[in-house]
Chain A
Amino acid sequence: MELTGAQALLESLKKEGVEVVFGLPGGQTLPLYDAMYHEKGIKHILVRHEQGAGHAADGYARATGKVGVCFATSGPGATNLVTAIANAHMDSIPMIAITGQVGTPFLGKDSFQEVDITGITLPITKHNYLVKDAAQIPYVVKEAFHIASTGRPGPVLIDLPKNLQVAKIDFKYPDSISMPAYKPTYHGHPKQIAAAAKLIDKAEKPMIYAGGGVIASGASKEVFELATKISAPVTTTLLGKGAFQETHPLSLGMLGMHGTVYANYAVTECDLLIAIGARFDDRVTGRIEHFAPKAKVVHIDIDPAEIGKNVSVDVPIVGDVKNVLSALNNHVKAKDPHSEWVAQVLSWKEKHPLCYKSGGGLKPQAVIEEIYRITKGEAIVVTEVGQHQMWAAQYYKYSQPRTFISSGGLGTMGFGLPAAMGAQVGMPDKIVLNIAGDGSIQMNIQELNTLVNNKLPVIVVILNNKYLGMVRQWQELLHGRRYSHTDLDDNPDFVKLAQAYGAQAFRVDKFEEIEKVMKKAIAKRDCPTVIDFVVEREENVFPFVSPGQAINEMIVD
């Protein structure tokens, strides 16, 4: 079948099962968008800023487990994607970014809107391509999807010069690809699995530390089986939230800098730490020499480079979590659910619950708890970055994978609103909440317009403290309360702003009003809602482990 390069690209995307792309056109993607004009099989969501397209593709991928796709034109369009690509790279999210490029005769000549986007994104993509031959388009797309979605997932960029988009090619989608040098390891080595089982059987105080890899692998069931069989308490990272029911007695919630007291105590006291699809990030470990000091470590990860990168490991297992645990679970012996260890952990849990002081104005933590109650814990929660992100992690309880979506590794303010849009597109029947701060929401607020245009019912919950709150908190605790450039006292009126974009909007300053307003928001299925919660300004996130401290040395109020 003879097709133009642009048509071949779209056909290839459909072969990969792509149903939706997020993007914004420009000079060097005109032929691509011309092909899109006639395209019935792929829905295109026109964003207002390419960063929004990138985060939307990312949010779509996190919510659905499929590969997210975004389009941008060359030059500024492509550079606008950079933050979103870096964000997906840090959190290992499968995503394909397709950028227009100047025609091949113009490459390297500082042509209008030419940037070396493959050069720029070299360190923030799993792989990238500058296509030089239109006939290669189908192969490149097939390879790109394979790379993005297998092994440790990640973003792949395809830079497509304009002349290749109009060139005619004989289109045939390849059945297979040959990548001899790229072979992720999926099955754990039986010897290592046996060695891990031996350590587990010997352990008196085993503990599971589960991360984003469990969600990527779809291995919640296997983690649950392991935890309940060996009666090991489970803590998750920020990105592992939802991998294990947080309502289960063995759940200790999140560990690390803003983790629960009991999770951090348990990690410090355990004699065996089973790290599953987690990468010992410094926000998790605090002072690394004091992290899990009494424990042997089993580390299961699909990326061999993660093993031994930050901590030394007693039994490394390279492989996919689901496969490894399916094998491991058969090897381990059941343990007493009423062991001294479990009793100890449960008593810490009872003694040191997450808490905040009531009284004064509307408490942001109370807003999250109330929203949790009203949505019965069934919403998809997508956050921005800051204090509200941590409260959303602490006070909403997650029971399903892919229901908590947050920028962990890059910590990108402005991620949440477009990512929530992507999640809503992927999961149209779900309640999707964007828990935001008043600072973060202003970083991609233009996407409210995209939500309105596409009738997407995302509910934006602004915890408005009129500060760049998380930075203010550090200034309060670590810099003598010198609030240097963190005051946002002259924020716009978010209700009016949201209404101008065409969204439904409310302001809430009393706890009692939350339910009524949330119900109105939930009932509205053809338009986004923005709720401006006027909260206590100087509330802090606790527990808090100061940078460089051991994680059992927490400031709790």
Chain B
Amino acid sequence: MRKHTIAVIVENRPGVLSRVSGLFSRRGYNIHSLAVGTTEDENLSRMTIVVAGDDDILEQITKQLYKLIDVVRVYELSNISAVDRELVLIKVAANEATRPEIQQIVDIFRAKIVDLGENALIVEATGDSEKIDALENMLKKYGIKEMVRTGKVSLARSEETK
């Protein structure tokens, strides 16, 4: 099953997040990640949802989303050229010996160390999901104590959407 990234533009009304997420669970669509935030228009919010399913499922999801009164627009970003980003914070176990190695990895990934403690440090990185996956993999062997990923956000490149 393919992963699809869809952007859902919704009116900024109370309950709209549960309407959208409820629809996914009720109809058995699996949400991989979901990121919500404000947009250029203060009345609208934008959800970026990554969902797995074949094309028929994606078509149903889109149609069902449009039936929600608060949904203004739905479009798929996986088919068009888009900029995808995700932000991650990873708290990695680190000591005198491992710190330089970690620093090297962080540099290669153009990530940043944003907090330093006795036994751990926090790495911040942004990038597409593949890059974040790779960074996470590289850091695993040192011991990941905690991690948070924002989920993917995407924007179509200029000329791709109105």
| Chain A interfacial positions (CB closer than 8 Å to B) | 118-119, 122-123, 126-127, 130, 132, 147, 179-182, 303-305, 308-309
Contact = CB atoms under 8 A, between A and B. Distances in A.
B68 to A, nearest CB: 8
Contact of B19 (A122, A180, A181, A303): A122
B107 interface: no
Chain B CB count within 10 A is highest, among A122, A181, A182, A308, for A181
B64 interface: yes
B72 A305 contact: no
B14 interface: yes
B158 to A, nearest CB: 24
A304 B70 contact: no
B56 A308 contact: yes
A166 to B, nearest CB: 22
B69 A181 contact: yes
A308 B22 contact: no
Contacts of A179: 69
Contacts of A122: 15, 18-19, 22
A127 B69 contact: yes
Interface string B16-43: 0011001100100000000000000000
A355 to B, nearest CB: 41
B124 interface: no
B95 interface: no
Interface in B59-74: 59-60, 63-64, 66-67, 69-73
Contact of B26 (A123, A132, A304, A305): A123
A164 to B, nearest CB: 15
A341 B70 CA distance: 48
Nearest to A309: B60
A425 B15 CA distance: 36
Contacts of B59: 308
Contact of B67 (A130, A180, A305): A305
Given A181-B71, A309-B60, A304 B22 contact: no
A180 B71 CA distance: 10
A37 B14 CA distance: 33
Contacts of B11: 181
Which interface residue of B15, B22, B71, B72 has the most chain A CB atoms within 10 A? B15
Nearest to B61: A305
A123 B15 contact: no
A181 B63 contact: no
Given A122-B19, A147-B69, 7 more contacts: A123-B26, A181-B73, A182-B69, A303-B67, A304-B63, A308-B56, A308-B59
Contacts of A132: 14
Nearest to A181: B72
B70 A123 contact: no
A294 to B, nearest CB: 23
B67 A119 contact: no
A548 B36 CA distance: 42
Nearest to B13: A129
A123 B66 contact: no
A303 B64 CA distance: 10
A335 to B, nearest CB: 34
A162 to B, nearest CB: 19
15 contacts: A118-B15, A119-B15, A119-B18, A122-B15, A122-B18, A147-B69, A179-B69, A181-B11, A304-B66, A305-B60, A305-B63, A305-B64, A305-B67, A308-B56, A308-B60
B14 to A, nearest CB: 7
Contacts of B67: 303, 305
Nearest to B26: A123
Contacts of B69: 126-127, 147, 179, 181-182
A305 B68 CA distance: 12
B56 to A, nearest CB: 7
Contacts of A309: 60
Contact of A123 (B14, B22, B60, B71): B22
Contacts of B70: 181
Contacts of B18: 119, 122
A318 to B, nearest CB: 10
Contacts of B64: 305
A181 B71 CA distance: 6
Contacts of B15: 118-119, 122, 130
Chain A to chain B: the 3 pairs with minimum beta-carbon distance, closest first: A305-B63, A181-B72, A127-B69
Contacts of A182: 69
A122 B63 CA distance: 17
A64 to B, nearest CB: 25
A444 B66 CA distance: 36
A155 to B, nearest CB: 13
Contacts of A303: 67
A122 B21 CA distance: 11
Nearest to B25: A123
B24 to A, nearest CB: 11
Which of B14, B56, B69, B73 lies at the interface centre, i.e. has the most chain A CB atoms within 10 A of its CB? B69
Contacts of B63: 304-305
A309 B14 CA distance: 29
Contacts of B73: 181
Contact of A180 (B22, B60, B72): B72
Nearest to A126: B69
Nearest to A182: B69
Contacts of A126: 69
B153 to A, nearest CB: 21
Chain A CB within 10 Å, residue with most, of B22, B23, B63: B63
A123 to B, nearest CB: 5
Contacts of B26: 123
